[in-house]
Amino acid sequence: MRRRLALLAVATTSLVLVAFLVPLAMLVSTVAAERATAGATAAAQSLAAVVALGDRESLGATLRQVNAATETPITVFLPDRTSLGAPAAWDPAVELASRGRSITMETPNGREILVAVQGRTGGTSVIRTFVSTGRLRQGVGKAWLVLGLIGLALLMVGIVVADRLARSLIQPVRQVAGVSRRLARGELEARVDPAGPPEIRDVGAALNHLATRIRELLAREREAVADLSHQLRTPVTALRLEAETLRDRDEATRVGEAVDTLERMVTEVIREARRFGHTGVARCDATEVITERVTFWSALAEDQDRPVRLRLPGGPLPVRVGAQDLAACADLLLENVFANTPDGTPFTVELVPRPGGGALLTITDEGPGFSHPVPVDRGTSGRSSTGLGLDIARRTAEGSGGRLRTGPSPSGGAEIVLELGPALS
């Protein structure tokens, strides 16, 4: 926009300058020619009295003095067709002037001025002077140069003014665009400081109102989610009481652990919902979280005769994801393995450092593999599930600066690679 306004200013100023300077340049050229012609005519007319009354010798002496002092040669043609002064031919123009008519003729080399003088014995005498093209255009080039410099200066001033005007318009627009991008990234505290023309200030005020309204709606939605999640505590408590009544203590312990996990997830949903508006840097040790979750699922894998291979790095692996989010993500991916492969199907969980920082979590099984295309969009499922598992994993990875990749494993089963970004310091 700034460049377009500058180009518009250049085009408009150029048109105005052309409309102004071209006629002015032509006028300067005309004035210079008329000035030179007027000077030569005055010099010729000043000799009229000498030509009409003087004798031949005094006229010749006068012409020699005049031609020595002027740059326009003067010739006097007498009635007997002889001439005095600067050499010149008796041409048709001189013939016309000898009939008593003063004229000015344009020639390829300049302008010829002929003054008819009456009073001499034998007829009409003619005073001829010639102004060359150089004399007619004397000073025109310098005047045109000055006009060109003035035009260029005016053009530069127009560009500077247009640039200042464009900047005063663009800066508020850029601020509105920047706040829009911040809102899109989830920074709902971002606001516009209205500036610029009234129309742009109205847009900024409308964007601020929209951000406030979005924040209110999200707060209301999250409170509703928190209330709904809080209502889940009652059935979770009932499940815990039922687990305590089981006669098999191992079974009761395993069910109790599952209920504890469910309760932790419900608590985290409530906390996350009511944490709206508070910013913080999420991070955790991926090695610790994945070890804990694979250990939890290993009990079920043992019951189903599923061989589990776990490969972990030798030390901590910090990632830009909260421990609860990563645990929930790992649970969803491992649950997919148990839900979509038959009992006895081996699977592998591998956690390695990611090039550039972060971690790569790879879960591979030797089951039937994915259907094509692999459903990773929210609410899309190739089976009877809700279709949210892979989408949650994808959003968790992208929120950390990574991504989710799915495809076939080397054995023909399914492979899910979760790329997690490095934890911020």
Residue 8 makes CB contacts below 8 A (sequence gap 6+) with: 162
Q: How confident is the model at residue 316 (pLDDT cuts 50, 70, 90)?
A: very high
Asked whether residue 320 carries a pLDDT value surpassing 70, the answer given is yes
- In DSSP notation, 280-326 reads ----EEHHHHHHHHHHHHHHHHHHTT--EEEE--SS--EESS-HHHH
**Strand residues in 55-205 grouped as ranges (E):** 74-77, 83-85, 103-107, 110-120, 123-132
**Strand residues in 206-254 grouped as ranges (E):** none
Asked whether residue 178 carries a pLDDT value surpassing 60, the answer given is yes
* Tens-digit pLDDT profile for residues 139-170: 899 999 998 899 889 888 888 888 888 888 88
CB 85 within 8 A of CB 76: yes
Asked whether residue 387 carries a pLDDT value surpassing 50, the answer given is no
Token representation of residue 10: 């250049």
Q: How far apart are CA 78 and CA 98, in angstroms?
A: 9
* Tens-digit pLDDT profile for residues 25-56: 899 999 999 999 999 899 888 888 888 887 88
Q: How far apart are CA 214 and CA 183, in angstroms?
A: 10
Sign of the CA dihedral with 194 first, then 196, 201, and 203 last: negative
More confident of the two residues 422 and 185? 422
- Upper half-sphere CA count for residue 136 (Cβ side, 13 Å): 19
Average pLDDT over residues 384-388: 45
Token representation of residue 341: 């492969």
Asked whether residue 377 carries a pLDDT value surpassing 60, the answer given is no
Q: How far apart are CA 358 and CA 86, in angstroms?
A: 101
Candidates 191, 183, 358; CA nearest to 282 is 358
* Tens-digit pLDDT profile for residues 179-202: 898 888 778 788 888 888 888 889
Q: How confident is the model at residue 348 (pLDDT cuts 50, 70, 90)?
A: very high
Q: Give the least confident one: 148-157, 272-281, 335-344, 397-406.
A: 272-281
CB 361 within 8 A of CB 379: no
Token representation of residue 228: 């709904």
